[in-house]
Amino acid sequence: MKYDFEYKPYQNENELILHALEYIKEGNRIKASNLFLELFHKTLNDEYLFEYARLAFSIRKYDEIINVIESNQNSIVRNEEKVLKIYILSLMQKKELDKVKTNLDKLLKISKSDSNKELLANYYLLKKDYKEAKDIFEEVYEKSLTSATLLNLVDIMYTYLGEKKEAINYLESHLNIYGCDNLVCSKLLGFYQEQNDIDGVISVLKRTYTSFKENDNVYTLDKVYKLLMYYLEKKDIKEAIAFLEETGANDERLFVLYQNARMPEKAFALVKKLYDETGNLDYLAQIAMLEFEVAKDRKEVLPSVIKKFEDVLAVLDNHIYQNYLGYILIDFDIDVKKGLGLVNKALEKAPNNLAYIDSLAWGQYKLGDCKNAKINMKKVVDSTGLNDEEIRIHWEKIKECSK
């Protein structure tokens, strides 16, 4: 039988409290919990019993908690609900389900709070009565609308009741109304990934990206961006491009995608912006390439293109740019010998590159060295065939020359 009483005074109470708090600060929860238990026995103040039980639960002293609380039930008065919760949680850990139900009934008579109802739902989970657990979590969620309760609810629906579509709809509805809570978005993302629903994954990641960007969550934003781009590019490069155009998230990546998608005009406009912003000579070389590629009359832009490549190669020893400029000098009969010199520099770094060997053969042909031109051009044709129009033209002219 319970009774109210005055707590017993204890002379060294404050000293023990300070020692317990110091142990907590040091991370020594065993000694801290023992001191709180001593304080409880000295004073019968059930606040100390609660502090003991809370710490003991964190270090999995479930049997000890059960024994102490059962031995001191008549002294638990003012903090009955808090102590009873930890007692029930300890019983759950030990799978003592009969005792759990008895004490849950007692707890719910004290308070039918949402957290107490969720304890009852977890009891039904332990009993594998998933329908009853779902009903309770659903009732609590409709009242509280909290993310934690929603996650418990959808886990039961998705994992145990096979209500996968309904669980996803619950999460989608919550996100549409309350925005992208990190935990809810992560749960929905996991469900979509398991369902291999790429559209769903992309939708969640876009909302997560927007939410994190608004909250200046830079570290997590980068991780979400990389995952989102992986799925966008996996699905459709044009959708990835549209996302980057809309958000301005990564102009460097957008430039690469423009090139991969064969959008030279957009790539040209963007790379000029990137060069203006950074002064990076690689971007200047890309400007030269794209200027040449998009020109209606390539002869008109040759001086500009050549000047840019020469400025780049005065600083960078890059075989791609060496071959590109070398080929232009050869193909337009501007300076075939200089062009061949650049191509040979490129071949020193990448001797098996077929594009460079093609440039070499074309330069040799232009200088009348038909024998070596044919030897080198045959390497290209044997490896790639004659599907490429430029290779086919080179091969025909070099064969004719060698005759």
Q: What is the distance between the alpha carbons of residues 185 and 345, in angstroms, rounded to a whole number?
A: 53
pLDDT along the chain (403 residues), means of 10: 55 91 96 95 94 97 97 92 97 96 96 96 97 97 95 97 96 92 93 96 93 77 93 96 95 96 96 97 97 94 97 97 97 96 97 96 95 95 93 94 75
Q: Which residues 6+ apart lie within 8 Å of 69 measured at CB?
A: 49, 53, 76, 83, 86, 87, 90
In terms of Cα–Cα distance, which of 322, 319, 243, 258 is closest to 293? Answer: 258
Per-residue DSSP letter, 6: P
Q: Express as a percent the part of the chain with pLDDT over 90.
A: 91
Residue pair 336/368 in contact (Cβ under 8 Å)? The answer is no
pLDDT tens by residue, 352-365: 999 999 999 999 99
Q: What is the distance between the alpha carbons of residues 149 and 128, in angstroms, rounded to a whole number?
A: 18
Q: What is the pLDDT of residue 6?
A: 56
Q: What is the distance between the alpha carbons of residues 208 and 189, in angstroms, rounded to a whole number?
A: 10
The DSSP string of 219-288 is HHHHHHHHHHHHHHHHH-HHHHHHHHHHH---HHHHHHHHHHTT-HHHHHHHHHHHHHHH--HHHHHHHH
* Whole-number average pLDDT of the chain: 94
3-state secondary structure of 385: coil
Amino acid at 250: N
Segment (H or E) for 148: helix 147-155
* H-only helix segments in 27-155: 29-43, 46-58, 62-71, 80-93, 97-110, 114-126, 130-144, 147-155
pLDDT tens by residue, 191-232: 999 999 999 999 999 999 988 888 766 778 889 999 999 999
